[in-house]
Structure 1
């Protein structure tokens, strides 16, 4: 039986991944500060909870660990722009340190879930693969790229390092997020019969369901090291490359109600269309879900009252709520994590 350490285990992806690992018979050490609650992971005899800041991990955390899946991150561009220094500390420095500690302690495999956002802006006629030049435009994307670079150089015959460049994730999770494109569209359609869409809708964006990307993580744990070591793999599917206006229309057509599109904001200059052939070829894997599947799943849970939108489901809103609630900060000892002055949150 293998023992897996997962950072960010209580987050949007982690709370889907951890139960899958446990179901497969892995022992899991779940590392997180659990900003979004301890209830996202159900107790299990093979689950060990470590409530710790990823920047403070030490050698002893890696004793007996066979593989690391380093999910921890200040997630999404708005949070990254507001918490710039902290984002670089956590998304870049801490993850490279985790990889270094893992290697030092004899861990055999390190999986870094990164992001296709590092492609930034690409010509509309180009479909980028893993060999394409990157063009990160945001703090979040830049920190991911640095984490990739810092961890890949650690790979050797005894220490397998593989990078997953994930498309924009969507779908239901116990730690639900409505600040992700498809999830937000599904909520807007259910709540108001309107899908909010950032202008001008022609920008390309790849998508991947949270169930699909966590399935890839399971495959990478068992994949032949000689096949995946030192590799960067785009994770998503060619079918799930969408121009945002077309994405909104597909979701609207998939739902059993009349839905309008409502434009907002300035044009989004991030646009990238991604080739996912390598993941399918290397791992003999294909994505199971489309945007319509994910939106329909979320819509149905909203209709049935099994899902609701709260401050916790909008990442940046919850980070601000933590800082603006002295009792919450004191109770959970967040002082050293969120250090921005109150004026920056206005």
Structure 2
């Protein structure tokens, strides 16, 4: 049985990836701070929970590990702007350190889930691929690029390093996020029958379903080394390059109720499209989901009552809530407790 160490295992992508790995017969070491709780991962005989900060990795975490999937990150641009230092410490420095430690301790494969946000924004007629110049604009994107530049040189004949640049992820997850575009559209449609959309809807964005990108991670664990070592792959599909206005229309048609699109704000001219030919040809992989499929999935989960919106489903709001309560508890605590003391 092969063992995979997954950092950020309790997050939006990790809570889809870990059960998938277990179902495929892997043993999993799931490392996370678990800001969103450990209940998102069901107990399993081959699952080991490691409650740790990725900035404090210990050699023993890598014992008998065959591969690392380094998902850990401060997620999204708003969080990256508010927590700039932590974003660079976690998304960049900790991941390079994890990769270097994994190599030193005999791990064979390392996968870095990065982001298509590295491409920044491009001219309307440009479709970027893995050889295109990057243009990271946010702290989140800049930290991801620094991580890529730090881990790729570690690759050699005995240590396989692969980077995947994920399009904007969508779809249902046990650690749900409604601060992602398609998920947010689905929630707005379910709650009010309205999809709010910034003018003028001609902007291009690439997307990928959480089930598709985790399938790629599983595929990379077993792919021939010669195909994936030292390689960068964009993860998504040409069909999931959407103009946002058309995306909203597709979602409105797919949902089982009358949906309106409500425009707001000044025209948003930020726009970029991504080419995904490399991964489709090299690994014979194709995305299964469309944006409309993913929105319907989220809508149905909301409709059934199995999914609700809370502060935990808006990443930055939950980070702020944790900080608020940390201060309150620190001020109230004395002698190791509140009412019961040591």
What is the SS of the residue equivalent to 1:38?
coil
Q: Is 2:154 the partner of 1:172? A: no
Report the number of matched residues: 332
> 1:336 — aligned with what?
none
For 1:8 and 1:270, the matched residues in 2 are separated by 29
Whole-Å separation in 1 of the counterparts to 2:318 and 2:84 = 17
* 3-state SS of paired residue (2:64): coil
- Which residue does 1:38 correspond to in 2? 38
Aligned partners of 2:186 and 2:149: how far apart in 1? 35
> Do residues 305 (structure 1) and 319 (structure 2) align?
no
Residue of structure 2 in register with 1:12 after alignment: 12
1:283 Cα deviation after fit: 1.0
Task: State whether structure 2 residue 268 is matched by structure 1 residue 254.
Answer: no
The range that moved more, 6-15 or 242-251, is: 242-251
Gaps of 5+ in 2: 334-342
What is the correspondence of 1:184-203 to structure 2 with a 5 Å cutoff?
184-203=184-203
Higher deviation after alignment, 310-319 or 299-308 = 299-308
After TM superposition, give the deviation of residue 269 of structure 1 in Å: 4.8
Deviation of 1:264 after TM superposition, in Å, equals 3.2
Maintained 8 Å contact 1:116/1:167: yes
Q: Which runs of 5+ in 1 are unaligned?
A: 334-346
Alpha-carbon distance in structure 1 between the residues aligned to 2:131 and 2:206: 17
1:1-346 equivalences in 2 (<5 Å): 1-326=1-326
Distance 2:239 2:167 in 1: 12
Which range moves more in the overlay, 307-316 or 276-285? 276-285
The offset of 1:167, in angstroms, is 0.5
Q: Note closer, same or farther for the CA distance 1:91–1:270 as it changes in structure 2 (3 Å cut).
A: farther
Residue 39 of structure 1 aligns to a residue in which SS? Answer: coil
| Contact 1:172/1:294 (8 A) holds in 2 | yes
The CA deviation at 1:327 is: 7.2
Q: CA offset at residue 262 of structure 1?
A: 2.0
Once the two structures are superposed, what CA deviation does each residue of 1:177-233 show, in whole Å capped at 9, x if it has no partner? 000000000000000011122233222110000000000000000001111000000
On the 8 A contact 1:323/1:329 being kept in 2, the answer is: no
Please say which structure displays the higher CA radius of gyration: 2
- Contact 1:322-1:329 within 8 A present in 2 as well: no
Q: For 1:73 and 1:251, how far apart are their aligned partners in 2?
A: 29
Cα deviation 1:56-107 (Å, max 9, x = unaligned): 0022211111000000000001100111111000000000010010011010
Question: TM-score, normalization: structure 2?
Answer: 0.94
Give, in whole Å, the separation in 1 of the partners of 2:200 and 2:192. 21
How far is 1:265 from its partner?
4.1
- Equivalents in 1 of 2:37, 2:329: separation in Å? 14
Q: Distance in 2 between matches of 1:7 and 1:191?
A: 34
CA–CA distance in structure 1, aligned partners of residues 145 and 47 of structure 2? 31
Question: What CA RMSD, in Å, does the superposition of the two structures yield over aligned residues?
Answer: 1.5
